[in-house]
Structure 1
Amino acid sequence: MTISNYSVTRLEQCPPQPDGTEIVVADILGLPLTWWERARFRSKLRADIRDRSDFLRDVGIDVLEAHAEACRFFWQPITLKRP
Structure 2
Amino acid sequence: MGQAAYLSRHHSLESDYRIGFYVSVPVKLKWLVLAIAILQAEVGSQAVITGTFSIIKQYYALGCFPKVKIIHTSSKTHGQMHST
TM-score bucket (shorter structure): 0.3 to 0.5
Q: What's the TM-score, normalizing by structure 1?
A: 0.40
TM-score (norm 2): 0.40
The structure number with the bigger radius of gyration is 2
